[in-house]
Copies of this chain bind each other. A is one copy, B any other.
Amino acid sequence: MLINELIIKKRDGNALSDIEIKHIITLYTKGELEDYQMSALLMAIYFKGMTDKETNALTQAMLNSGETIDFSYLKGKKIDKHSTGGVGDKVSLILAPIMASLNIYNPMIAGRGLGHTGGTLDKLEAIPGFNINLSMEEFKKNVAEIGASIIGQSKEIAPADKKLYALRDVTGTVASMPLITASIMSKKLAEGIDGLVMDIKVGDGAFMKNKMDARKLAKSIINTGKLAKKNVVVMLTDMEQALGLKIGNWLEIEECLDSLQGRGPADLLEITHGLAALMILLSGKEKDLKKAYDLSVKSISSGQAYLKFLEMAKAQGAELEYLKNPQNMKKATYKIEFFAPKNAYLKISSALKLGQLNVLIGGGRLKISDRIDPIVGIEIFHKVGDKIKKGEKIASVFYNLEELKSEINDRLKNCFEFSSKIVRKRKLILEVLK
């Protein structure tokens, strides 16, 4: 099996066999297939796609390139949620303790932020002491005892994915449905879960810019899930504007703490409970969607989810003082505020531009080696459709580098557009597919 011939086979639009795909991934993981051949193959896959059968074979090969976690000894169901990434998307941090409080196991291997989208691990690391690099044994113990744990992708889990993702990132081959599918699913299947709820973000702040592409990815993920005999439900949610009212790693932790204590913004809670309800259905704990939703709401109102969050954080080394008294956290040095220029309706609050602004001030990274400033961020005070009076505060930017002042000022006003006509509120949950 000459690799060059397999590249040509794919280049010419033919499907690779399961054995061929396994061969490719095995060699690549062992370092016996050159990056330059893999990147040519990835570009051919970008153009020619993969059948569901190929995508499944790729997922399985990547999954089997490393260890998989065995949770079969736990009695309850293991359900996870994954998001394709957005701006202000801190849902995982609220969902995991909700699930744990309902005795549904939620083992979660999460990712870092790249570009304008944030990452769950970066948010957790904004909590002093929080350790996302647990050993497999610690992770399994925490999931078993607490019900939830969130860690990074260790070198044992799907190493082929780790290597492939780094290569895709620098060769223009990230935006390929089968490659995205296999990357997500190989990691999620390694978690030893029974079911998965996917949150596919749609809009200018998301990876999928329109519903058509989002549906394609949904279909690809659902089919791969089916072939792996896992229940997968997909929710398409809006990412034209940021989720919640805070963007930036520690600011988002603050918003999670508020949400877990019943003071969360409506949009964030609607998405969180919507996803939670689907996870509860998948777990079999409840069969009625409305009742499942109520279970999630109650988990917060009873304080159970908040306690579970503290328990999970403590088990991963967090200094609880900051979680109990977030006002004690160090603040960013500078603040810039932006006020409404006229009486109007908020028409656009660009998730993409706000996410990029957050990267500019150090809250995100352009390349994987960039360092993050956990304290900086953006607070917004309105959602699209809100009626706003002239001079009302629209957003605040908290930052530490004085020299950025004028660029922040320039960019900040460009994040928003106003209209004198009534603007409809954006629909948050667009579709559910399974």
Contacts and interface: CB of A to CB of B under 8 A. Distances in A.
Contacts of A171: 4, 7, 36-37, 40
B39 A172 contact: no
A3 interface: yes
Interface stretch (A18-26, A42-50, A72-80, A102-110): A42-50
A37 B36 CA distance: 7
Interface string A7-30: 110010000000000000000000
Contacts of A169: 4
A5 to B, nearest CB: 8
A410 interface: no
A310 interface: no
A176 to B, nearest CB: 10
A8 B40 contact: no
Contact of A4 (B38, B42, B47, B170): B170
A40 B173 contact: yes
Contacts of A41: 172
A7 B47 contact: no
Contacts of A170: 3-4, 34, 36-37
A38 B37 CA distance: 10
Contact of A34 (B4, B11, B35, B43): B35
Interface in A151-191: 167, 169-173
Given A34-B35, A37-B39, A39-B39, A44 B172 contact: yes
A169 B46 CA distance: 20
A136 to B, nearest CB: 30
How many identical chains are in the complex?
2
Contacts of A35: 34-36
A7 B172 contact: yes
Contacts of A3: 170
A431 B133 CA distance: 68
A40 B39 contact: yes
Contacts of A38: 36
Contacts of A34: 35-36, 170
A230 B34 CA distance: 39
Nearest to A170: B4
Given A43-B44, A44-B43, A47-B47, A172 B4 contact: yes
Interface of A: 3-4, 7-8, 11, 34-44, 46-47, 167, 169-173
Given A4-B169, A40-B172, 9 more contacts: A3-B170, A4-B172, A11-B46, A11-B172, A35-B35, A36-B38, A36-B39, A40-B171, A40-B173
23 contacts: A3-B170, A4-B172, A7-B171, A8-B172, A11-B43, A11-B46, A34-B35, A34-B36, A34-B170, A35-B35, A35-B36, A36-B36, A36-B38, A36-B170, A36-B171, A37-B170, A40-B40, A40-B171, A40-B172, A40-B173, A41-B172, A43-B44, A47-B47
Query: Nearest 9 pairs between A and B by C-beta?
Result: A7-B172, A43-B43, A40-B171, A35-B36, A39-B40, A8-B172, A36-B39, A36-B36, A40-B43
